[in-house]
Chains A and B, each alone.
Chain A
């Protein structure tokens, strides 16, 4: 399926701008749990879909925002390539636009970069209904401000993504996963020793008893790294990393609030009650906890990090509060892109 609905999308935004109607941007509805609830008229982007350009030797793919993530992964896979940031989908309906708008990245993020790092350019509709293009399909491009990357993680509050261009990379020749049994402090120590070497590590996860390490690279390099790291080989490893990415491991089956905590990788375990899962060499820690949002966010802020309520059945999207100075810039930027505050209002912060 390959359809261009940009004109209808633009018309709906123009109408909404004229009558100051709030719009709720919907792609595949796979990440509706993420961010604050938005009340508004639905703007459906999912039908604006199709891969527009894919040049394996240029390492670039351009697709309409509504293109299913799995369609992109399939076409890349056929050429031995991948989205290096290993994005989670959370449902088969997930779109590339939603993935970029949320800036979601998976287990490989700490070793290869985030979604925003691979975003080369995009076409958007701003809150005035204007269609704009920034960046492009080339790796190096410093003409004008980096508006493309500003869109990554803005969850649609600055513009509706129409098209994105992404850098892609070849898949690794070989992969292996090792399991080591250790404590959380030992796991952090090990991951930091490894991260100062050139070992081909592509993912790490610690679940309270076991540290899992994925190695990806040239066959000989992976073999050498297995010797350096030790541990045992893991069965069904690719299934494990997939389940981690898609949050299907037992850890994630919970009624408790799931917090996403990001700070420097070497921070000692914080005094927050609950169950943890570490990723990204210690730089991302998932926490299941009933502690109050205020307590969690204050504790994490004291460690110079940020915490967001990632998923919960009763409450949605509490992001770490911004300093007054940063909030002022955020509001000014929102005004610059969406002066009538019609695009996903309040999705990120009530003020935006």
Chain B
């Protein structure tokens, strides 16, 4: 469950709506309940709230005026892109304004020589690659929601995708941002070159979940499209062997473009849905994509085939052409909706672990699955250790959602315990706010609050998300539950 950080605004709702209508045209301010409904949640629909108003500006000046107004009257502001986020980061504040960047849809320009695209934050992730395609270029980070998610939201969450091991996250693939501070000031962060003067504010803004400023323009780096991509599919009768195979590929000096693992339940769901020809008897399958120049890919395919066989794969297939490559991927890409067909609801978790801990983590998840009497399918970005357990539940069964949330929380705490993190790519948002108390101690959380205050001293940008108050952590009582099992036991914890 969640509760809002209460604020003392200095303006009533009617006056606020009037003032917003003075900044943008009348139809760009929504305040009737039926108009607010579509904005009540993001991709994590278990949390819902209605804001005082939704405002849809279309110019930078309007965003400046809106923020300046909210700053003057102490009104919370939650920025929102497409609302595909999975951690409740764009959940509205009941006493605040929801600032939608949906009208910032323009690709400002593509410069093939500099290999950059300058775009507005409401541009969809996939649209950038489509616009760059005629130049033989693309934008590398490809979260699974790339047909629907916006680049502004990608920067706010530091989104990843299936190609992170080789091509990095959003933070590695952007060059410049324009942001508006809560006071309404326009700042340019980063530069037109490979670095800029002063502190690395570009990194600090990336993944800051709308807590430090509102992004109004993004310059992304583009990469040349590889000459060729090839994918191998390997089946294993034991999950631990599949995990070892991943380490062996890397030890052979090869960095695959994508390296995905699915466990038995996920394979079954994906196969029923996508008919990708996956081996159903396997305990786990690995998909390994190699890209680069023609010659490099040929060489690496042979090497990886050998490594997979030596690692105990019961079967190794190489996609014979691009059509078959896409079929291999189709199952993996459909894994989430496919699992969704097996159960009325599912809850997608997002922890990262050191890869060598995979067998232990999967065993513990299996044990917890029995304890909570809830099925789990595991999808794993094996190259970078990002695990997505999908917990199957039925929201109509009383108590099942609460049990699911508790189970999910246990999985995240397990990720921290083995040296990983509570979120690899979905962000903390509202969802993982309690687990932040497990991963960070009170002085670290205080340092985060001080960073926030450097940008937004009154705490008006997305209040209550991403970093918990110490009071909240004390209520959560996480330290008691995990007494003695946490790293740095000598440090004071709340």
Contacts and interface: CB of A to CB of B under 8 A. Distances in A.
Q: Real complex partners, A and B? A: yes
A144 B199 contact: no
Contacts of A263: 191-193
B8 interface: no
Given A196-B135, A265-B193, A266-B113, A325 B187 contact: yes
Interface in B243-286: 246-248, 250-251, 253-255
A323 B188 CA distance: 9
A126 B451 CA distance: 13
A190 interface: no
A56 interface: yes
A248 B268 CA distance: 60
Interface stretch (B57-65, B102-110, B441-449): B441-449
B367 interface: no
A330 B160 contact: no
Interface in A238-263: 262-263
Contacts of A220: 295-296, 298-299
B197 A140 contact: no
B305 to A, nearest CB: 15
A134 interface: yes
B424 A219 contact: no
B91 interface: no
Interface stretch (A29-37, A88-96, A107-115, A286-294): A107-115
A141 B350 CA distance: 10
B126 interface: no
Nearest to A305: B193
Interface in B227-246: 227, 246
A32 to B, nearest CB: 21
B193 A153 contact: no
A18 interface: no
Interface stretch (A8-16, A69-77, A331-339): A331-339
A78 B140 CA distance: 31
A109 B195 CA distance: 11
B430 to A, nearest CB: 14
Interface residues of A, number: 85
A20 interface: no
B250 A170 contact: yes
A110 B221 CA distance: 12
A139 B253 contact: no
B424 A140 contact: yes
Contact of A143 (B194, B247, B422, B491): B422
A247 B386 CA distance: 40
B204 A149 contact: yes
Contacts, number: 266
A192 B206 CA distance: 28
A262 B112 CA distance: 19
B207 interface: yes
Interface residues of B, number: 98
B292 A217 contact: yes
A348 B197 CA distance: 10
B322 interface: no
Interface string A305-330: 11010000000000111110110011
Interface string A113-154: 110110000000010001111101111111111110110111
A43 interface: no
B41 interface: no
A59 B251 CA distance: 9
Given A141-B424, A158-B199, A304 B192 contact: yes
A143 B204 contact: no
Contacts of B440: 143-144
Given A57-B356, A146-B207, 12 more contacts: A57-B251, A142-B157, A142-B207, A145-B451, A146-B158, A146-B204, A149-B204, A195-B115, A263-B192, A283-B194, A305-B193, A335-B454
Interface of A: 55-60, 80, 103, 109-110, 113-114, 116-117, 126, 130-134, 136-147, 149-150, 152-154, 158, 169-171, 173, 192, 195-200, 217-221, 223-225, 262-266, 280, 283-284, 304-306, 308, 319-323, 325-326, 329-330, 332-333, 335-337, 348-349
19 contacts: A57-B251, A114-B194, A117-B171, A139-B385, A140-B160, A142-B207, A143-B423, A144-B439, A146-B204, A198-B293, A200-B293, A218-B300, A221-B299, A263-B192, A304-B193, A306-B196, A326-B187, A326-B201, A329-B201
Closest 8 CB pairs of A and B: A220-B295, A149-B203, A57-B247, A332-B454, A140-B424, A336-B450, A170-B253, A221-B296
